[in-house]
Chain A
Amino acid sequence: MNTKTIFVTVGTGKFESLTKEMDNIAPKLNDQITIQIGSGKYEPKNCKWFRFSPNLNKHYAQADLIIAHGGPGTVFEILDTGKKFIACANRDRTDPLHQVEFLEAISKETKGLMYCAKIEDLFKFIQKSRKTKFEQYKKSKCWMDKEVTTFIKTTPKKISKFALFKKLINSYINIAKTLTKIK
C-alpha cells in the first residue's frame, strides 16, 4: 500500500475525541498524518501535530485526504479545494447538535464529502474513502445581496414637513378638481 498524507483539522476550538481517535488509529494506517489540535489538551504521540496556523491552505494542498470537524467555515473552505474529505460532528461543544444537523443536510446535498456520524467508525471511513470518488462541490446560488439592496431601496425615506405640506395641498387641489368636474 502506498503512503498518503492525511491532514486533520479541528478549527479554533477543541475536539479531543477526534484527536484521540486519530492518534489511536495512526499505527494501523500506513500514512503520514498531521493534526491541527487547536486548544485541546491531549497531545498526540504517534503523529505530527501543531496547534494553530494562520493559513491552512498549504496543508490542504499537500494532503490527499482531509478530516475535519463540522464547523461550516472549515467545511466550505475544504469543499472548495475538491480534495477527499471526511467530516465529523463535534459533540463536545456547548451547542452539540447544530453541527450534526448541518452535516446531515450538506452531505445529502453534495457528494463532495463523507459524513462520519460516529467517531469510532473513522477507521472504516478512511478505508472506504480510498475507493470512492468525490465530486467537486458546486457553490449554491445566493441572492442575499439583491434582497438587501431591494430592501434598502424600497424602504420609505423620512418625509420632511415641507414635503408633507406639499402633499396636503396637492390632495386639496385634486379634490377641488374632481368637484369642478362633477359640476
Chain B
Amino acid sequence: MVKPKIAIVLGSGGHTTQILRLVDKLGNKYNYSYIIANTDHTSKKHIRIPGKIYYIFDTRLKTDTNIFKIICKFVPSTIQTIGILLKIKPKFIIACGPAVCQHVLILAKYLFGAKMIFFESWVRVKTKSFTGKLVYSFFTKNDLMMVQWKPLVKKYPYSKFVGRLG
C-alpha cells in the first residue's frame, strides 16, 4: 500500500518540539516531508523520522509593523512555496507553528487540495494566537483543528480537545 503523503511545516523552538512529538507518536505509517524556515538552523537536528527537507524564506512577523516590508517578505516565500508544494503534492498538511506556516497551509488547501491539520500551541489556554485566528478563517468542515487546553474549545467551534503533548 502507498503511504499517504504528509507535509509538515516546522516552526521554531517550542513549535518544532510539539510537532515532532506528534510525528513520533504517528510513527512510520506515513510519508513525511518537512518544510523549514531558512533562518531556523536547530530544527533540522531534531528530526527523528526521516523525510525530505525543504527550505523557505522566513516570514515571521514578530515586530514588523511596516506593511510594505511584510508584503516584501511574503511574495518570494509564496513563489517558493508553490514550487515546493508542486514537488511534494501532499494529501495532508500539518502545522502548529508561527507565521511561517500561514501561507503554506492556505496554498496547499486551495491550490493543491490538501487537507489542513492545525493545532494550537500548548501555551494557548484561553486566548487565540494570531496564526490560529488567520488560519481558522480559511477552515472548512473537511479540515481538522485541535486545541490542547479545554477552555479554548469554545472559541473555535469546529475544534477538538485532544489532551496535551507535554
> Which A residues have a C-beta under 8 Å from some C-beta of B?
12, 71-73, 75-76, 79, 94, 97-99, 101-102, 104-105, 139-145, 147-149, 151-152, 155
- B165 lies within 8 A of A105 (CB): no
> Which B residues have a C-beta under 8 Å from some C-beta of A?
4, 13-14, 17, 22, 25-26, 29-30, 62-63, 92, 94, 115, 117, 119, 121-127, 142, 144, 146, 148-149, 160, 162-166
- B4 lies within 8 A of A152 (CB): yes
Name the residue of chain B whose CB is nearest to the CB of A109: B164
- A102 lies within 8 A of B117 (CB): no
- B163 lies within 8 A of A73 (CB): no
Name the residue of chain B whose CB is nearest to the CB of A71: B14
User: With A102-B122, A143-B163, A152-B30 given, can you name 9 additional A-B contacts, CB distance below 8 Å?
Assistant: A72-B122, A99-B123, A101-B127, A140-B163, A140-B166, A142-B25, A142-B164, A144-B148, A148-B117
- B123 lies within 8 A of A144 (CB): no
Q: Please report the number of residue pairs spanning A and B whose Cβ atoms sit closer than 8 angstroms.
A: 76
Q: Is the interface of B mostly helix, strand, loop or mixed?
A: loop
**Top-9 shortest CB links A-B:** A145-B25, A76-B166, A142-B163, A73-B14, A144-B162, A105-B125, A140-B164, A102-B123, A141-B163
- A98 lies within 8 A of B142 (CB): no
- Give A117 Cβ to nearest chain B Cβ, in Å: 15
- A144 lies within 8 A of B125 (CB): no
- A101 lies within 8 A of B162 (CB): no
Bound: A98/B124 CA distance, A: 7
- Give B142 Cβ to nearest chain A Cβ, in Å: 7
Chain A residues with CB under 8 Å of B115's CB are 151, 155
- A101 lies within 8 A of B123 (CB): yes
- B149 lies within 8 A of A147 (CB): no
Name the residue of chain B whose CB is nearest to the CB of A142: B163
Name the residue of chain B whose CB is nearest to the CB of A139: B166
Of listed A73, A104, A139, residue having the most chain B CB within 10 A: A73
From A75, A142, A151, give the contact of B165 (CB < 8 A): A142
- B149 lies within 8 A of A148 (CB): no
- A101 lies within 8 A of B126 (CB): yes
- B13 lies within 8 A of A73 (CB): yes
Q: Given that A101-B125, A105-B125, A152-B4 are contacting pairs, would A147 and B14 also be in contact in the complex, using a CB cutoff of 8 Å?
A: no
- B146 lies within 8 A of A144 (CB): yes
Bound: A97/B92 CA distance, A: 32
Chain A residues with CB under 8 Å of B166's CB are 72, 75-76, 79, 139-140
- Give B33 Cβ to nearest chain A Cβ, in Å: 15
